């Protein structure tokens, strides 16, 4: 049986010296919104944004969902896949999540 070595609080905190980020990603949400505005008739998936902007598809999905909650983007689902597009008019902008 191995004996578990207890760590002090200082040792536990020191563990985080090598973890984390010192610089946060710069405005991915704005980059995604700019793409939506440039191509208003196209539907995009988070995977497309993840590949094109070099980010994880989960982070791209969160950015798209935030834009959906802000009523700038509309969301449709087909099976397990979500598609996002810039909302076309003011009436559609008032709908929120679809």
Would you say residue 70 has pLDDT above 50?
yes
Conformation bin of residue 29: beta by default, left when phi > 0, alpha when psi is -120 to 50: alpha
Q: What is the pTM of this model?
A: 0.65
- Domain definitions of the chain by residue range: 27-92
In this prediction, residue 98 carries a pLDDT of: 46
19: DSSP letter: S
pLDDT band per the 50, 70, 90 thresholds, residue 90: low
In this prediction, residue 7 carries a pLDDT of: 73
What does DSSP say about strands 81-86 and 73-78: parallel, antiparallel, or unpaired?
antiparallel
Predicted confidence (pLDDT) per residue in 1-55, tens digit: 566 667 777 877 887 777 766 555 557 888 899 999 999 999 999 999 999 988 8
Indicate the SS3 state at residue 72. coil
Q: Which CATH class is domain 27-92?
A: mainly alpha
């Amino acid at each position: 049986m191995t004996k578990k070595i207890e760590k002090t609080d200082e040792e536990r905190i020191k563990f985080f010296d090598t973890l984390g980020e010192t610089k946060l990603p710069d405005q991915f949400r704005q980059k995604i919104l700019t793409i939506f505005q440039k191509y208003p008739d196209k539907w995009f998936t988070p995977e497309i944004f993840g590949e094109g902007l070099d980010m994880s598809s989960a982070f791209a999905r969160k950015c798209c969902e935030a834009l959906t909650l802000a009523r700038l983007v509309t969301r449709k689902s087909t099976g397990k896949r979500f598609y996002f597009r810039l909302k076309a008019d003011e009436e559609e902008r008032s709908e929120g999540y679809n």
